[in-house]
Structure 1
Amino acid sequence: MRQIILDTETTGLRVEDGNRILEIAAVEMVSRKLSPPERHFHRHINPERDSEPGALNVHGLTTEFLADKPKFAAIVDDFLRFIEGAELIIHNAPFDIGYLNMELAKLGRGKMSDYVSGVIDTLRDAKEMFPGKRNSLDALCDRFEVDRSARTLHGALIDCELLAEVYLSMTRGQDSLLIDSTAATDSHDLAGLAAAASAARDRRGALKRVAASEAELAEHAAYLDALDKAVKGQCLWRSLDTEAATA
């Protein structure tokens, strides 16, 4: 399965105010494995206008820096060829898709939905997974322990790379721990999948078993005591312990 992690930087927050795209990045992932950097798509774009002050503070891409960069019309064919048929992964997808649809409309090139197989919005998914929590890309990086120390300003390419790691963490995509995708690419090849999983376990070695200390067991028991009291003796774990003891 071919997926593209995509991000844009723009001259401002509202497309309705005539803002434009000034940077676009797309990172390829095939069967949940990131492709090498030479397979990525990354362009700075002359937006033909200045950035709003707030946006400039975020991305740091000045009008002078962008003055000699190609306009969107000059890169659109390369961009559409790169994303064609793929599933897009975007954080806050309506924002980026809205801007891309605007740029395509200016050129009479249809909409993004004409070129891709679908769109995953990681912001929407994160809100479902962590309701009431902060779910910005920075917050998700912190939650999933993704290193973002190299990110001083927002940039489309580095944001794509960070989002790729966040997405794999969100979807528990640790394929390398269990299955070598090059050894069994057909999901219906059960024998191949089993062999690949066995080989991966051999490479990994036996899983370590770490027993809880006496202090940890005591802390756990105290927690269950408090929980059982709070629910008036209806603690599920306590009832399971009782059932196990009388079995």
Structure 2
Amino acid sequence: NYPEALGPIRSARISDLSILGEYGRVGYLYSGAQSKMRPVIAEANLVNLSAERNPPSIYFNDLARRSPYSMMVKPNLLLEKAADVELAKKPGWQHGPRTKGAKKIISAEIDWPNARYEAYWSAIERKFLLKHNGRENMASSGVQLGSPMMVIQMVKISPSEYGDKFGGVTPKSEVIGSGHGYLLRNQRVVKARWNRASISEPTTWSLDDGSPAYFAPGQIWFFLTDTEPKFTYLPKPAKS
């Protein structure tokens, strides 16, 4: 079951193509793209399901939201246009038990130049809940956003060749290659290594000894950043 409306839908970013490439010929939703980038999107192994190719009956601006966070999509109607979309390829990570030695945390702070997220563990909801720039990150339904498992993937972020008429430059996240990251699950964090050989290959995750870094089943949220996160660890109980 899909919600009646989903969003916000943002503009195309060059990093999107690299991120989605490992999942096969999937649908690509975006609000608009720079003219310079449109030929690159056309050559990618993706199905263009953007607002540039679909009517206002499918993509619409929510008047209760301010731009650029106002565009929404009606997923049930869009799926009728998705005949060319293939089933997503299996991701590179493996599911399994939590890594022994993972450390208990209270929260994790993830930073970018213009935004800050805090993920903190809720014992009541049994998941990490999110704050955005110091405020609780809420869905339109009134539920605070969060997930039982989150992944902070450390990547190189640099200016791309794509900019706008106002002088803004779109950053590019390098998700092909190798690096490290952090897996957050069950109130704990463990450092892991990621590796991806090419745009069509899956990203695998491993521990320092080469064994798999297991993911929890279910919903997983990823954060791509080049700034090391700040963890607040749960103090060890005092010895009696």
After TM superposition, the score normalised by the length of structure 2 is 0.26
User: Would you tell me which structure has more helix in proportion to its own residues?
Assistant: 1
After TM superposition, the score normalised by the length of structure 1 is 0.26
| Greater C-alpha radius of gyration | 1
User: Would you tell me which structure has more strand in proportion to its own residues?
Assistant: 2
